[in-house]
Amino acid sequence: MKNIKIEILTIGEELLIGQTINTNAAWISEKLNEIGLKTYRHTTITDDKEIIKNTLQEIAQRADIILTTGGLGATNDDVTKKAFCEYFNVGLIRNENVLAHIKEIYLRRNRTITPTMESQADLPTNSTCIFNSVGIAPGMWFEEKGVIYVCMPGVPYEMKEMMHSFVLPELKKRFTQQSIYHHRIWIASLGESYIAEKLEKVEKELPKHIQLAYLPQIGIVQLRFTAIGDQQDNLKKQCVEIQEEVCSIFGDAVVGIGDNITLQGVLGDLLRDKNLTLSTAESCTGGYIAHLITSVPGSSVYFKGSVVSYNTEVKIEHLNISTQDVATTGVVSEKVAIQMAEGVRNLLKTDIAISTTGIAGPEGGTVENPIGTVWIGYADKEKSFAKRFVFEKDRLRNIQRAALMGLDIARKCLLS
Amino acid sequence: MKNIKIEILTIGEELLIGQTINTNAAWISEKLNEIGLKTYRHTTITDDKEIIKNTLQEIAQRADIILTTGGLGATNDDVTKKAFCEYFNVGLIRNENVLAHIKEIYLRRNRTITPTMESQADLPTNSTCIFNSVGIAPGMWFEEKGVIYVCMPGVPYEMKEMMHSFVLPELKKRFTQQSIYHHRIWIASLGESYIAEKLEKVEKELPKHIQLAYLPQIGIVQLRFTAIGDQQDNLKKQCVEIQEEVCSIFGDAVVGIGDNITLQGVLGDLLRDKNLTLSTAESCTGGYIAHLITSVPGSSVYFKGSVVSYNTEVKIEHLNISTQDVATTGVVSEKVAIQMAEGVRNLLKTDIAISTTGIAGPEGGTVENPIGTVWIGYADKEKSFAKRFVFEKDRLRNIQRAALMGLDIARKCLLS
């Protein structure tokens, strides 16, 4: 079967001045991808009739399907419908169903309908109407010279409704392509390039129909294997075999397999499964570990709380840190990190505890403890220890990296 | 002067399958707009050498400046540098400064450097290196046949650093025509549409060369007045006059005037100026207020710490909450919010304290306290009180809105 080429054209000056982030293109691509259709290009242009016509002409030379959003409102800066009429050299015809729908909405809002509003029921003579059940401006579907054009509003929830109710089912019915299967493996606390080196052999031996992408975030890297073929089951089986090889290389650095894996989610699942509770004592991370943990719904089952001890006296008084150790080794030290973890574990009566003490920057570094130095402590009923890291110069990134590293240390301890 | 045409080319398969939302294109366009340069088109393509080369050729026919992001890493799916070499038909030459920088990073991380890693210091012979002070892969600047090509990493903070330190100053120096002056007023805790209504008259009376944009974020709205003209001083004077009118309308809802105003930054300045200290007791915000406060460099001067009391026993035991009040009014109540603020203020011996208790969702709502209900408490040496809010259904947004509202309540108390 022919490889269907889809492009998305988002229309709107607000996107080109950076006032609005283009979430429509990503959302549409994701939904197409889920039914096995691949997006080849996103293009964003302004609300200008000539530019729209020229761009349509250009894309129609490359693509089989063009999905557009934006510029369908009733105000002067909305010119997409006019551009399509001129592009196809057709006139407008009033759609009585749409008109009745618009009138009903105005009646409900107690507003008088104007001719401009009524004109939103006028559609190009060569178009099929895509009904807008959650708004006013209808969408349009055109087929000309072997190219499908789908024209939708820029308002995300109106566009999404049209995609779900009409566009996706129609495309799925017509273009049953090969299956696309994504298999995601998440690895924590290792750099993208280190992972890539370790995977050199795996990557070389990948069959042609399976591709690997590295998607790094702070503290975690997603390996995405994309398999294309006829049988979804078979693709999955092949990916699972690769997964086994990857897991044998990285061991407990593998956080999880699946679509939306986070360290805080996986740690939470482990705590819940083992019926354990957690607390944190945070200095340089300033509450960010607690925030990550509590961003997971239902975390109150295992998370009891945190002492954010930004101030040294707070550490000494409430976490029971030895003043002598603070005086001899300093607050940013192994001893203090361990005592903080033990201290909060006792104070909040939890099974395990994580602590951080360090220098997030941009000031405060010393020769011994340069900016980015963080001690991360861990305590449970059997052991306590701390590890030293030296991150970079950026304050916010140091906070984030230290927090994720803390979560990962706890996760690994719970695994072993 | 010629109208400079800029296009942005974002490269990355993750954008075309909708896994990553294209924030880079919006951010770059916004920054270009601020120095008076207009973006004509955004294009997104996959990491494919031939597609990159063809697209560059196509855009170079229309644009004067092409800014690209993505595909500069060391892994096999990163092919942008190779594509540029083939596009210009040039080879690579090792940049010793970049190599030293990469080696230093590896040394700091205690990792052995490999030839693949070292090869990131190789740059096309016709390029100017854009140093990556916050990461590894350098950016590149090319000028060929009257077109400027700027090639940056896809990692947002690396791209942003390069834009700020090199690309924007360079483009501004070369291409800025009339003066553009931006004047920003930040307003907290009021909705965009409410603000717009109140500003209807101001907006109608704006002179033609001054435009107003509303840039809403969670908890705060930026009003950006953009003035274009010949004399920077005059533009500024006009904007300051408008500012006075805006401030008289919104009173203490105005958080500040300037480029990067945050509630946590302004609250921190107030605390420092008045020589006061702060603590927080957080239940539903789970440490997020403490995180926002400590994201400000130097916050250790005024922030002593936080008790994240996710668990009711932690509230009762450490924040001295009355068990009777918990039993009669529940944890999500005015009384408990006030006692939490007073409790942490006493415990950590600070001048003022903020507290939160509520239901972030997505579960746990009741008829009296639906999901999104949050009590925010405040205490200082003279008074303590709590206010009730009902936000929406989304957990993370509720946490963020409650945290910002807490900061704003403290800010207003310190002003009065």
Share of chain B above pLDDT 70, in %: 99
Which one, of A371, A353, A373, A352, lies nearest residue A361 by Cα? A371
Among chain B residues, CA nearest to A259: B19
Is residue A327 within 8 A of residue A301, CB to CB? The reply is no
Q: Summarize the confidence of residues A45-66 as an average pLDDT.
A: 97
At A264, is the pLDDT very low, low, confident or very high (cuts 50, 70, 90)?
Answer: very high
Contact A22 B21 (CB under 8 A): yes
At B19, is the pLDDT very low, low, confident or very high (cuts 50, 70, 90)?
Answer: confident
**Measured between alpha carbons, how far is B123 from B93 in angstroms, rounded to an integer?**
5
CATH number of B179-257: 3.30.70.2860
* Stretch(es) of chain B classified as CATH 3.90.950.20: 263-415
Contact A29 B16 (CB under 8 A): yes
Least confident of A16-20, A84-88, A185-189, B25-29: A16-20
With residue B374 as reference, give the H or E element that holds it.
Answer: strand B373-379
Answer with the residue of higher pLDDT: B179 or B312: B312
Model confidence at B346: pLDDT above 90: yes
Contact B40 A291 (CB under 8 A): no
Which one, of A51, A47, A139, A138, lies nearest residue A87 by Cα? A51
Q: Summarize the confidence of residues B384-397 as an average pLDDT.
A: 92
Is residue A140 within 8 A of residue A129, CB to CB? The reply is yes
Least confident of A138-152, B103-117, B360-374: B103-117
Q: Summarize the confidence of residues A67-86 as an average pLDDT.
A: 90
Share of chain A above pLDDT 90, in %: 80
User: What is the predicted pLDDT for the residue at A1?
Assistant: 42
ipTM of the complex: 0.82
Contact A42 B318 (CB under 8 A): no
Contact B295 A399 (CB under 8 A): yes
- β-partners of residue B226 are B182, B211
Model confidence at A110: pLDDT above 80: no
Superfamily name and number for A263-415: CinA-like (3.90.950.20)
Q: Summarize the confidence of residues A257-279 as an average pLDDT.
A: 97
Among chain B residues, CA nearest to A216: B155
DSSP A251: G
* Stretch(es) of chain B classified as CATH 3.30.70.2860: 179-257
Q: Summarize the confidence of residues A220-246 as an average pLDDT.
A: 92
Third-level CATH fold of B6-175 = Molybdenum Cofactor Biosythetic Enzyme; Chain A (3.40.980)
User: What is the predicted pLDDT for the residue at A112?
Assistant: 82
Contact A22 B18 (CB under 8 A): no
The predicted-structure confidence for A193-215, as pLDDT tens digits, reads as follows: 899 999 999 999 999 999 898 88
Model confidence at B1: pLDDT above 60: no
Residue B28 makes CB contacts below 8 A (sequence gap 6+) with A18, B8, B39, B67, B69, B159, B163
Share of chain A above pLDDT 70, in %: 99
User: What is the predicted pLDDT for the residue at B373?
Assistant: 96
Among chain A residues, CA nearest to B364: A298
Tokens at residue B355, please?
Answer: 């507290």
Model confidence at A176: pLDDT above 80: no
Measured between CB atoms, which of A17, A197, A305 is closest to B314?
A305
Q: For residue A351, what are the CA distances in angstroms to A124, A274, A319, B274?
A: 67, 10, 16, 41
Peptide bond connecting A362 to the previous residue in cis, omega within 30 degrees of 0? yes
Q: Assign domain A6-174 one CATH number from 3.30.390.10, 3.40.50.300, 3.40.980.10, 3.30.1180.20.
A: 3.40.980.10
Taking residue A322's Cβ as centre, other Cβ atoms within 10 Å add up to 13
Model confidence at A34: pLDDT above 80: no
Model confidence at A266: pLDDT above 80: yes
Positive or negative, the CA dihedral B337, B338, B344, B347 is: negative
Q: Summarize the confidence of residues A2-17 as an average pLDDT.
A: 91
B111: chain A residues, CB-CB within 8 Å: 191, 194
User: What is the predicted pLDDT for the residue at B110?
Assistant: 80
At A177, is the pLDDT very low, low, confident or very high (cuts 50, 70, 90)?
Answer: low
Q: CA angle B374-B379-B384, nearest 5°?
A: 80
Among chain B residues, CA nearest to A218: B155
B33 CA: distance to closest CA in chain A (Å) = 6
B244 three-state secondary structure:
helix
Average pLDDT, chain A: 93
